[in-house]
Amino acid sequence: MKMSEIKIELTTNPKEKPAVDQLGFGQVFTDHMFIMDYTEGQGWHDPRIIPYQPLSLEPSSMVFHYGQSVFEGLKAYLTVNNETLLFRPDRNFNRLNNSNDRLVIPAIDEELALEGLKKLVTIDREWIPNAPGTSLYVRPFIIATEPHLGVHPAKNYLFMIIMSPSGSYYKGGINPVKIMVEQQFVRAVVGGTGEAKTGGNYASALKGQEIADREGYAQTLWLDGKENRYIEEVGSMNIFFKINGTVITPALNGSILPGITRDSMIQVLKSKNIPVEERLISIDEVVEAYQNGTLEEAFGTGTAAVISPVGELKWRDEKMIINNGEIGEVSQMLYDTLTGIQNGTIEDTFGWTIKL
């Protein structure tokens, strides 16, 4: 019923698509976008697909002042058989509603959002790049638009989906990165907004990122906000360690973002009978494993990179080189499995993919 309500206005002025070998990340956008309004009393209404265009907002729009905003990130892929595929998009809209709940933003209809996304990707299908490793990055987001400087949950919102063709994350092969453990700043605290995908978490993480940059490190390893001891995330990815044959990732504790890639990795590991544990893991345990030679692999996981192996971890004066600075066996297997399912070369026995 609601599905058919999505109105479609196609562009009369299609843009030129960038060359596949020139693709970066998040700078070029497709011809169309999905948009829907929320007004107090009326609820979410007017779902529509229109030409990609600038917004006109009051400077007093609440999102500019108090940060009431949430977002998601997922990808559409072109398979080796030229099919269009989405990877677990239902999880993204479900998580968006969890973030909404935390930020007191009214819930969206997840099925309607998925229907809108499918229509949008179908309309802009030719924007999905077809070179290996490339994809169409999809960014759903919600902002508070009520023009008011009073502090309260806004009465008006916009939900939008924009899309950007993105290049291969690993152009010259998978390169392990150098990571620095952050000791002064924290990303999130239990009870805060760490498990919501909201812009404020990113703004507060920039300082740690800047410090890491300055010291020649790619990302920050975040420790917990209370004891500064337990490992939480790496940059804006979830983190895994392989110690003595067992893969360990921090348990979701309220300050860690529940990554869909994280969940997928855990399921793949279980399906291959590789021991995997979700539990507290302290930096001391990692250092000890390094010192006694049982720290075998470390890697971050997220939609953008799928896997980002950690080649060096710096903690105080200790520079720990992991697996000779090379990608490990399990990391490689996980990367190959997930990207294989996404590009259609490996059968999806998990029921994760949706073909359009």
Report in angstroms how near the CB of residue 300 gets to ligand PLP at its nearest.
Answer: 8
Report in angstroms how near the CB of residue 141 gets to ligand PLP at its nearest.
Answer: 12
End-to-end CA distance of the chain: 20
Tokens coding 206: 């920039």
Report in angstroms how near the CB of residue 266 gets to ligand PLP at its nearest.
Answer: 11
Of 237 and 276, the one with the shorter C-beta distance to ligand PLP is 237
Nearest to 195 by CA among 232, 140, 234: 232
What DSSP string runs through 83-110?
A: -EEEESHHHHHHHHHHHHHHTT-PPP-H
Of 30 and 238, the one with the shorter C-beta distance to ligand PLP is 238
Nearest to 276 by CA among 305, 234, 303, 238: 238
Nearest to 164 by CA among 193, 124, 136, 195: 136
Name the DSSP class of 288.
H
Of 162 and 237, the one with the shorter C-beta distance to ligand PLP is 237
Of 47 and 259, the one with the shorter C-beta distance to ligand PLP is 259
Of 72 and 297, the one with the shorter C-beta distance to ligand PLP is 72
Say if strands 156-166 and 219-223 run parallel, antiparallel, or are unpaired: unpaired
Report in angstroms how near the CB of residue 301 gets to ligand PLP at its nearest.
Answer: 6
Q: Report how far residue 314's alpha carbon sits from residue 345's, in angstroms, rounded to the nearest whole number.
A: 37
26 beta partners: none
Of 49 and 161, the one with the shorter C-beta distance to ligand PLP is 161
Could you list the residues that contact ligand PLP (CB under 6 A)? 73, 197, 233, 236-238, 257, 259-262, 301-303
Residue 19, SS3?
A: coil
Report in angstroms how near the CB of residue 218 gets to ligand PLP at its nearest.
Answer: 15
Provide the 10 A C-beta neighbour count for residue 198: 23
Report in angstroms how near the CB of residue 46 gets to ligand PLP at its nearest.
Answer: 28
Q: Report how far residue 64's alpha carbon sits from residue 324's, in angstroms, rounded to the nearest whole number.
A: 46
Report in angstroms how near the CB of residue 39 gets to ligand PLP at its nearest.
Answer: 29
Torsion sign over Cα 159, 165, 168, 169:
negative
Name the DSSP class of 22.
G
Query: What φ, ψ does residue 27 adopt, rounded to 5°?
Result: -115, -25
Tokens coding 123: 């309309």
Of 119 and 197, the one with the shorter C-beta distance to ligand PLP is 197
Of 61 and 236, the one with the shorter C-beta distance to ligand PLP is 236
Report in angstroms how near the CB of residue 283 gets to ligand PLP at its nearest.
Answer: 18
Report in angstroms how near the CB of residue 121 gets to ligand PLP at its nearest.
Answer: 18
Those residues with Cβ within 8 angstroms of residue 301's Cβ, 6 or more apart along the chain or in another chain: 237, 238, 239, 240, 259, 261, 262, 265, 307, 308, 334
Provide the 10 A C-beta neighbour count for residue 9: 10
Of 17 and 139, the one with the shorter C-beta distance to ligand PLP is 139
